[in-house]
């Protein structure tokens, strides 16, 4: 199932509850929360207090993308604030395995994130531990950047590995996912689409989300038709369980 994780980074923070509601009406099913510390990335956003505030205004799962140094220090607080999924950067974790365990221990679903310069191979050992892998298709820190096509090979590679290793992790893509790039992203095998600036715009958020999902489903359907007869019981497009 293809899902839209709308990134509130591009929303109007002064009307956050309304913004989330509009994206949800448009079909968004996950709230993507970009946490930045001004060290790991050259920008500062928000932290657990924002997660706590969101938890009060939506029932949708909160997907926290931690772009911070020393994420272990803050994982318990995100758990208490009501986060459902927490993604940590491979590049920020000295003991990634331990950090993913910590997320799980605090009752959240662990995810690992890779920057454009990091190869998928670095994740082999932890793939069995994660709920999803987040492939960055821009360098993290800012919304509204241009999609980097190098992400497509990584998504395909992760799709193949999932089948080869008999795993169920989901594949999420973040950065520059918009109406003109979404088809390629879906065709490569993505099932969680992060989008910020392509979704949020005054008065058009609901419509933008709906159209982005329509294009995603269209690409997904074409892919399923194209692969009819090729996919056996262990076909290339395994539908991961939740």
In a 3-state reduction of DSSP, which class is residue 2?
A: coil
List Cβ neighbours of 114 (8 Å cut-off, separation of 6 or more).
89, 90, 91, 120, 122, 123, 133, 134, 135, 136, 154
Interaction residues for ligand DX5, span 161-220 (CB under 6 A):
174-177, 194-198
From the candidates 37, 63, 174, 191, give the one annotated as an active-site residue.
Answer: 174
Minimum distance between the CB of residue 209 and ligand DX5, rounded to whole angstroms? 12
Asked whether 104 and 79 are in contact (CB, 8 A), the reply is no
Q: For 86-98, b where at least 16 C-beta lie within 10 A, e where not — what string? A: bbbbbbbbeebee
Residue 125 CB neighbours (<10 A): 9
Q: Which is nearer to ligand DX5, 42 or 235 (CB)?
A: 42
From the candidates 34, 37, 63, 84, give the one annotated as an active-site residue.
Answer: 34
Site string for ligand DX5, 63-102 (x = CB under 6 A): --x-------------------------------------
Residue from 34, 37, 172, 191 binding Zn ion (CB under 5 A):
34
Q: Would you name the residues annotated as active-site residues?
A: 34, 174
Q: Which residues bind Zn ion (CB under 5 A)?
A: 34, 65, 174
């Amino acid at each position: 199932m293809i899902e839209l994780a709308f990134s509130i980074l591009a929303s109007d923070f002064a009307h956050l509850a309304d913004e989330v509601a509009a994206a949800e009406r448009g079909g968004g099913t996950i709230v993507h929360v970009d946490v930045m510390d001004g060290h790991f990335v050259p920008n500062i956003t928000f932290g657990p207090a924002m997660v706590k505030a969101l938890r009060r205004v939506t029932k949708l799962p909160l997907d926290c993308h931690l772009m911070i140094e020393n994420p272990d220090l803050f994982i318990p607080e995100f758990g208490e604030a009501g986060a459902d999924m927490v993604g940590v950067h491979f590049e920020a974790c000295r003991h990634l395995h331990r950090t993913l365990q910590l997320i799980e221990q605090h009752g959240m679903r662990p995810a690992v994130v890779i920057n454009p310069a990091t190869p998928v191979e670095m994740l082999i050992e932890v793939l069995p531990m994660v709920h999803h892998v987040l492939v960055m298709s821009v360098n993290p820190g800012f919304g509204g950047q241009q999609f980097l096509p190098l992400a497509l090979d990584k998504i395909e590679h992760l799709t193949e590995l999932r089948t080869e290793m008999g795993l169920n992790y989901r594949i999420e893509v973040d950065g520059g996912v918009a109406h003109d790039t979404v088809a390629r992203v879906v065709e490569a095998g993505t099932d969680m689409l992060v989008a910020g600036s392509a979704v949020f715009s005054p008065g058009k958020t609901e419509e933008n989300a709906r159209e982005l999902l329509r294009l995603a489903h269209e690409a997904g359907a074409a892919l399923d038709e194209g692969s009819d007869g090729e996919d056996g019981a262990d076909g290339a497009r395994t539908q991961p369980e939740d």
